[in-house]
Amino acid sequence: MQKIGFIGLGIMGKPMARNLIKGGYSLVVYDIIQSSMAEVASLGATVASSPSEVATQCKTIITMLPNGPEVKQVVTGKNGILDGMQEGSVIIDMSSIAPLVSKEMYLLCKEKKASFMDAPVSGGEPKAIEGTLAIMVGCDEADFEARLPILKTMGTSVVRTGEIGSGNVTKLVNQVIVALNIAALSEAMVLGTKAGVDPELIFEAIKGGLAGSAVMNAKTPMIINRNFKPGFKIDLHIKDLANALETSHQLGVSMPLTGLMMEIMQALKTDGEGQNDHSAIVHFFEKLAKTEISKK
Count how many residues are written for the chain. Answer: 296
State the Rg of the chain over Cα: 20
Q: How many CB atoms lie within 10 A of CB 53?
A: 19
* Distance between CA atoms of residues 288 and 220, nearest Å: 19
Residue-wise pLDDT tens digits, 261-275: 999 999 999 999 999
- Encoded amino acid at 18, one letter: R
Q: Is 3-164 CATH 3.40.190.170?
A: no
Mean pLDDT of the chain: 96
pLDDT at 294: 86
DSSP designation for 115: E
Q: pTM score, two decimals?
A: 0.92
CATH topology of domain 169-289: N-(1-d-carboxylethyl)-l-norvaline Dehydrogenase; domain 2 (1.10.1040)
Largest CA distance in the chain: 65
pLDDT at 231: 86
d(CA 98, CA 93): 12
Q: Per-residue pLDDT tens for 111-165?
A: 999 999 999 999 989 999 999 999 999 999 999 999 999 999 999 999 999 999 9
User: Residue 1: which pLDDT band, with cuts at 50, 70 and 90?
Assistant: low
What is the per-residue DSSP string for 164-195?
TTHHHHHHHHHHHHHHHHHHHHHHHHHHHHHT
Bridge partners (DSSP) listed for residue 121: 135
Catalytic residues: 171
For CATH 3.40.50.720, list the domain ranges present in the chain. 3-164
List every span in the chain annotated with CATH 1.10.1040.10.
Answer: 169-289
* pLDDT band at residue 295 under the 50/70/90 scheme: confident
pLDDT band, very low/low/confident/very high, at 176 (cuts 50, 70, 90): very high
Band the pLDDT of 252: cuts 50, 70, 90: very high
- Pairing mode, strands 90-93 and 115-118: parallel
Cβ-count burial 240-255 (b if 16+ within 10 Å, e if not): bbebbbebbeeeeeeb
pLDDT at 42: 97
Percent of the chain with pLDDT over 70: 100
What is d(CA 271, CA 265) in angstroms, rounded to the nearest whole number?
10
